[in-house]
Chains A and B, each alone.
Chain A
Amino acid sequence: MSPTNDSVMLEVKDLNKNFGNVHAVRNLTFEVRKGEVLGFLGPNGAGKTTTMRIITCFIPASSGTVKVSGMDTVQNDLEVRKRIGYLPENNPLYLDMTVDEYLKFAGEIRGLKGAQLTNRIHDMFQVCGLAKMANRQIGKLSKGYKQRVGLAQAMLHNPDLLILDEPMSGLDPNQIIEIRQLIKKMGEEKTVIYCSHILSEVAATCNRILIINDGAIVASGTPDELTAGASKTSGYMLKVKGDKASVQAKLSAIPGITGVTVQESGEWLEATITSGKEDVGEKIYKCVSENGWSLAELKRHSASLEDVFTQLTRG
């Protein structure tokens, strides 16, 4: 498996960053290819923002290299910056300016001019639903609109690498769906790095996830791989009608099941079953039907991304 080098959009190698005695980032190494949406997760203070700041050329690394489409972020910083769209945490904006003025300013610095600039701004108005707000002062917009202005600014120059730090904060559920689709669409041709604390959001949007803790990578993979890898045990919830003692005994006898607790809930019995990695759902169902219990519910709970996250980053 040797990926062709030109499909690698971002290459981070042995990245370290120290602030005095604090090691914010330790030996971070990862790659992001074209057409990938990478979810970048980690608890507060894990080094996410520091990593983003290094990638966007705001601060240099203490050691290690970052390359964006093969160009070094220190030696070629202006070229790298042209290819990056960045929405920083908390979405800083020039509050005195109007939306239109702000996007013009952002576009001019990105080297857009004349008709091209006007067209791009117009596209962004459509995409981000800002057309009605074009002449409003940014400081007077609601949080959701401010967020959209920030997104418009980041995507204005059609960057190869889009870095979004908490892009969904302040958006309502409809807007979240719109922006999520937008990010996925961008991710088809470009590369997106998506930092967030909202794990379900990341699971829905990203095709690869990187979890860091204390400045180092603790897990990486697709959302499915991560949840599968983390769940060494799986569990079932069974809701049946029958004799409590016999349900307990019969279920415990099934090979592969490691523990059964039965509780009464009204006229139903609720059994919480833990098992090994093996899928024992079919066996449980057979056991239920052979014994003639009435079945109300049989549910498998596998580890969610939240579980993975907590497991890897706590303590």
Chain B
Amino acid sequence: MQNISAIFKKEFKTYFLSPIAYIFITVYLITTTFLFFQGFFLINQADMRGYFDLLPWVFLFFVPAITMRSWAEEKKVKTLELLLTWPVSDVEVVMGKFLASFALLAIVVLLSISIPVTIAIIGHPDGGQIVGQYLGALLMGAAYLAIGLWVSSMTENQIVAFIVGVVVTFVLFIISTPFITMVLPSFAAPLFAYVGLGSHFESISRGVIDSRDIVYYLSVIGFFLFLNVCSLGSRKWE
């Protein structure tokens, strides 16, 4: 545990040592708040549905921006070779990095608390629904993070890590949208609908937390973190 926490602290601090975290927080809050309030008064409903409908698309670009550096930079500067000769297991390094990126994402997402507060002042939103939506958003964000980290672990170029991260997440997101499932043969459609990231966010954006969606997101996180551990382990292959 000391190892995971040491790596977590170091990674988390690193986000704030460079301008990354500050730029990220500012741009994220401005973009999402603007996009949300653009439509909010037209719809004239005191809920955050519109906000959480946006998130999958916003995360698509913001999450790979958090994770692109994690492994790519260590590979490029060769600190990975040093880190992996210290008494720490590959799993611990992966967990430390994942938790640190999750902590940053959680801070950013929770900083948007000004929006529900504003809504509560001007209307009567359903508090339980908003809490559910936030939890769901964090779960989905964590899944995106796991994907982004895995992509970053396979390259030493941050730009490549970012772009491929966006593409992989995008593909995983759209395969479950009706746009794609409509044209698929009938036996494959439910499979794609289940595997895709998108279908599991629909109920969440309504504030309904279904255990099936939780299981799904945890599996995605587990699967991509596992792939990440494998890609670190690949140095040991012949």
Chain A residues near B (Cβ < 8 Å)? 18-20, 53, 56-60, 62, 78-79, 81-82, 84, 86, 88, 90, 92-97, 101, 105-106, 108-111, 113, 153
Contact = CB atoms under 8 A, between A and B. Distances in A.
Contact of B88 (A58, A93, A109, A153): A109
A82 B78 CA distance: 20
Q: Which 7 A-B pairs have the closest CB atoms?
A: A108-B6, A92-B78, A56-B85, A81-B87, A96-B17, A92-B79, A82-B87
A12 to B, nearest CB: 16
Contacts of B89: 78
- The interface residues of chain B, by DSSP majority, are classed as helix
Interface stretch (B7-15, B180-188, B206-214, B218-226): B7-15
Given A95-B77, A97-B17, A108-B2, A78 B85 contact: no
Given A81-B87, A96-B18, A105-B6, A59 B78 contact: no
B84 A58 contact: yes
Interface of B: 2-3, 5-7, 9-10, 13-14, 17-18, 77-79, 81-82, 84-89, 235-236, 238
5 contacts: A84-B85, A86-B85, A97-B17, A106-B86, A109-B6
A194 B86 CA distance: 19
Given A78-B89, A97-B17, A110-B87, A92 B236 contact: no
A93 B77 CA distance: 7
A57 B235 CA distance: 11
B78 A78 contact: no
Majority secondary structure of chain A interface residues (helix, strand, loop or mixed): loop
B6 A58 contact: no
B85 to A, nearest CB: 4
Nearest to A108: B6
Given A59-B236, A105-B6, A111-B2, A92 B84 contact: no
Contacts of A153: 82
Contacts of A18: 238
B69 to A, nearest CB: 10
A19 to B, nearest CB: 8
A94 B14 contact: yes
A212 to B, nearest CB: 20
Contacts of B236: 59-60
Contacts of B238: 18-20, 62
B216 to A, nearest CB: 34
A86 to B, nearest CB: 5
Contacts of B88: 78, 109
> Which of A18, A58, A90, A113 has the most chain B CB atoms closer than 10 A to its own CB?
A58
A157 to B, nearest CB: 9
A79 B10 CA distance: 23
A109 B79 contact: no
A90 B17 contact: no
